[in-house]
Every structure is written in structure tokens, then in C-alpha cells.
Amino acid sequence: MSKTTLKSIPVSEGQIIDLKIDSMAYDNAAIGRYKDFVVMVDRGAPGDVLKVSITTVRPNYARAKILEIVESNADYRIDAPCKLFKVCGGCQWQHLPYEKQLEQKQLLLKNFFSKLNLCDDVIKPIIEASQPWNYRNKVQYPVRTIEDTGRLKAGYFEWHSNDLINIKHCHIQNALFDKVVDTIRELAPKYKITAYNGKNKTGWLRHICVRRGIFTGEALLTFVAINDHLSSSQKFVSEVMSMHPELVGVCFNINTNTTNVIYGPKTKVIKGKGYIFEKINDLKLKISATSFFQVNTLQAMKLLEIINNYACLKGSETILDAYCGGGLISLSLAKYAKKIIGIEEVKQSIEDAQYSVKENAIHNVHFINGKVENKIQEVLEKDKPEIIVLDPPRIGCNKQVLETVLNSGVGKIIYVSCNPSTLARDLGILTNNENNAPFTIKSIQLIDMFPHSYHVECVVLLER
């Protein structure tokens, strides 16, 4: 982006301009240029010629909303299959054909990594989703009570708004979720279930969460609520479970926080099991209500294949799996390595990982509960891993973690990321020539874990 001074900004709030869209942004928006100045337009598509109204002006870019689509390119703009697409904040790119979504993600990533001066062949073509619809294995819907009728609404928020959409059918989720959520809407008045209202501290329910094992078919329903005091709770959950035999359990998670974090620290199993099993290749994995698990199971399997190829194991290696969640990567590499150590801060995820280790009769994997930044030094000194897998949350790695890895004997890093912005930052540190023995980026594989959204997963191979 050019360093435009405030003086030379060619647009102002409320101004109406004609704009041609060039590409998609890593955002809700598409990008056009007005007198060389970047203008971002929500729900724009490449090839659009638009009449837009400027809504916000910043030093380096402006935002605008579409008033009229004057012209569009049929290769890039289609009618979104979901009738709620125009208002729902759940997906952002349904108005682009799937192959064009892939093209735009590839382009975006090339731009993110442009400062790293990579050779052309380092960034590999994106791996497409074999199932671009109904792929999500988890839903987490906030709820509201409709004042006039007392009925329950559940769904995603409208984009740029706190208004909740009552979603009856979501195209990107496992089909079971629509049915289970609908049953809860129907039964809510009978069991006097109302949505929690943080302002006047009334009501009970905050979120309805369902997750599913795609290969086992097992499903788990979790009500995130302000407390566990629901009269007739046994009768209620029995009725829900009898209508959906896929449900192996129902939990209440208690969340009294005032933040927007979905889950509270305590989960109570009300009926059945507090977890599901999933089968990934020859592994049987335990997944509890609040543990992390990749949301796109089929693409997660491709992710594991890439990691395995990058690791290129001979059987003698020790691997550190940092930010290991429920141990998916550790367990899938176990039979090809000598020893694997996983570090994860969420206790429930570690308990799941340890359960899965036993369930699969694996003996060379060891998990540590704690923050990576607090535990990594000890593991590097004691176990001397040759390879480290970094799969941090969206904020990326703590700088201290990267410095510790740079100063260690680790020869290979496999960095898995769902946020190209923090990934590019962290790769800049790991490859900085001013560091002693920095790493070199050998390969970057993009993988589409999140069709119809702007999100994209990257796996990067770095070697000394």
C-alpha cells in the first residue's frame, strides 16, 4: 500500500464514486483503487464495476458500501446458494465460484509473503476441499429470546451488527446440526428455556454447541449457560437425545464471564458421554465439548499428510509438537518417529490427548499441560528434538518462543498457521539473517480448510 498522506486522500466519507474491483482482501471485502487509493468494498467481487458510497476513511485505505452493481464478471460473481448470505456474518465469499475463491486465496497469500523474497516455486498451489459444502464438524450458535413470542432464536450475527439471525439451514455445516438446533428451538418454550440477557441478568442459555465425528457419526450437544440450574433438565435432554440418536451425550458448560469467550471453565455431563470419538486413518481420537479439534475433518487429514511429508521421518527423530491441542498431529506422527512431546495449555485437551494415547496403545508420545512459552526451554534442553511443529492460535507465536527455537539445536520447523498475517511476521523473525543460524523457507503449502470464507491454512517447511 502506498504511503498516502492525509492531504492526498482522494475520497471523503459519504462521497459516491464508481469503482472497479481488482481482487479479494483478507477480510469481508474486495479491493478496488480510486485514483490509486485502496477502497475496500464488502461483498464486492473481482471484475465488478460498482457505484459505492464511502463509509470510512483511514490514512491508507477507505471502506465503502455497494449502492449499485453497474457491471459484473460472470466468471467471478454468482448468486450465493445461501439465501441469508447478504446479511449473515458466517461466510464472506459465497458469491464467488469455488475455483475463483481458490485463485484469490493463492493471490492473497503471495502478497502476504512478498516481503520474504521467496523463489516462485516455494509457494505451492492451494489444495482444494474435496467437500466444499457441509464441511464444518462443529457449530457454536449464540441465542436470543424473541420478546413477543418467547421463542428461541439461534444463529450467527448479521455482519457489522449485534442482531442475531435465526439460521434454519446453514450450507457449510454438517447437516445434523440444523435438525438438532431446530429441536431445541421447538422444545425451549415447553422447558422454559430462555436466552441469557447480560444487560438485565435474566435468562439462562448463552450458546448451543454441537460437534460431530464425521467418520464415527457420533455427536455431542453442549448448552453453554449461566449456571446448571435448569428444572426438568433430565427430561429435557432425554427428549432431545431420543429425537437424535446420533447424540451420545449432552453437557452443560457454565460460563459466567462478561467477555465474548464462548466456554466457561466448568463442564457438567447431564446425560450420556461428555465426549465423542473421531476416527482419523487408523487412530481413534477422543474429543470433549471444549477441546480444540480442526473444524474440517477431511481437510485435516490432508494437513496431516503434508506434515508427515515435510517431516520425512526415518524413525530415529524426536519431535516437539507445540500447541498440540488434543494431540492430533502428535498421534498421527507417532508411528514414524522415536519420541514425540506435545505441549498444550488447555487441560481438557491434554486429558483427551492422554486418553487417545492409551486408546491407541501408543507408547512414544508424552504430553505436557502448560503454556509453550513456559515449557519449551525445558523440553529443548532435556529431549533435544530435531524437529518442531508449531501450530499456534491466530495470534501466532510468542516472540520469546521463536527466539528460544532459533537458539536451540532444532534443524527443522513445520509451522502450521490459520492466519497468514501473523505467519508472515513469525517467518520474518525465523529467517532474519541477523539471527545466528536462521532458518530458510523450503516450501509453503496452502490448504483450503474453510471454503466460502476468506480464511486459509498454510503449512510451512523451514530448515537451517
Ligand X SMILES: C[S@@+](CC[C@H](N)C(=O)[O-])C[C@H]1O[C@@H](n2cnc3c(N)ncnc32)[C@H](O)[C@@H]1O
**Catalytic positions, written as ranges:** 418
Among the listed residues 346, 362, 377, 422, the single contact to ligand X using CB under 6 A: 346
Identify which range of 99-107, 126-134, 151-159, 386-394 contacts ligand X by CB under 6 A: 386-394
Q: 381-385: long-range contacts (C-beta < 8 A, 24 or more apart)?
A: 383/318, 383/320, 383/339, 383/341, 384/318, 384/409, 385/317, 385/318, 385/319, 385/320, 385/341, 385/410
Residue 310 found at the interface with ligand X (CB under 6 A) = no
Helices 176-187 and 233-243: crossing angle in degrees, nearest 10, is: 140
Q: What is the CA radius of gyration of the chain?
A: 24
Q: Which is nearer to ligand X, 30 or 307 (CB)?
A: 307
Q: Which stretches of 159-207 are DSSP H helices?
A: 176-187
Q: How far is the CB of 306 from ligand X (least distance, A)?
A: 12
C-beta neighbour count of 72 within 10 angstroms:
18
Q: Which is nearer to ligand X, 22 or 373 (CB)?
A: 373
Q: How far is the CB of 343 from ligand X (least distance, A)?
A: 6
Residue 323 found at the interface with ligand X (CB under 6 A) = yes
Q: Which is nearer to ligand X, 37 or 355 (CB)?
A: 355
Residue nearest to ligand X according to CB distances in the complex: 325
Q: Which is nearer to ligand X, 73 or 281 (CB)?
A: 281
Q: Could you identify the residue written with the cell 496431516?
A: 304
Helices 98-112 and 420-430: crossing angle in degrees, nearest 10, is: 30
Residue 213 found at the interface with ligand X (CB under 6 A) = no
Q: How far is the CB of 328 from ligand X (least distance, A)?
A: 4
Binning the chain into helix, strand and coil, the percentages to the nearest 5 are 25, 30, 45
Name the nearest CA neighbour of 342 among 278, 299, 297, 387: 387
Let me know: does 110 contact 456? Beta carbons within 8 Å.
Answer: no
Task: State which H helix or E strand residue 31 sits in.
Answer: strand 29-34
Q: Which is nearer to ligand X, 28 or 291 (CB)?
A: 291
x/- string (CB under 6 A) for ligand X, residues 353-372? ------------------xx
Among the listed residues 10, 272, 393, 411, the single contact to ligand X using CB under 6 A: 393
Let me know: does 345 contact 320? Beta carbons within 8 Å.
Answer: no
Pairing relationship of beta strands 339-344 and 365-369 according to DSSP bridges: parallel
Residue 47 found at the interface with ligand X (CB under 6 A) = no
Among the listed residues 123, 343, 376, 410, the single contact to ligand X using CB under 6 A: 343
Q: Which is nearer to ligand X, 301 or 346 (CB)?
A: 346
Q: Which is nearer to ligand X, 25 or 295 (CB)?
A: 295
Give, in degrees to the nearest 5, the angle at Cα 458 between 453 and 464.
165
Residue 349 found at the interface with ligand X (CB under 6 A) = yes
Identify which range of 225-233, 310-318, 385-393, 456-464 contacts ligand X by CB under 6 A: 385-393
Residue 324 found at the interface with ligand X (CB under 6 A) = yes
Site for ligand X in 408-427 (CB under 6 A): none
Q: How far is the CB of 174 from ligand X (least distance, A)?
A: 18
Number of amino acids touching ligand X (CB under 6 A): 19
Residue 352 found at the interface with ligand X (CB under 6 A) = no
Residue 391 found at the interface with ligand X (CB under 6 A) = yes
Q: How far is the CB of 323 from ligand X (least distance, A)?
A: 3
Q: Which is nearer to ligand X, 299 or 349 (CB)?
A: 349
Among the listed residues 329, 350, 379, 424, the single contact to ligand X using CB under 6 A: 329
Task: Give 195's DSSP letter.
Answer: B
**Helix (H/G/I), strand (E/B), else coil: 416:** strand
Residue 292 found at the interface with ligand X (CB under 6 A) = yes
Residue 298 found at the interface with ligand X (CB under 6 A) = no
Sign of CA dihedral 129, 134, 140, 141: positive
Q: How far is the CB of 442 from ligand X (least distance, A)?
A: 21
What is the amino acid identity at position 107? L
Which residues have a Cβ under 8 Å from the Cβ of 129 and sit 6 or more positions away? 135, 296, 298, 299, 448, 449, 451
Name the nearest CA neighbour of 42 among 378, 147, 52: 52
Interface residues with ligand X (CB under 6 A) are 292, 294, 323-326, 328-329, 343-346, 349, 371-373, 391-393
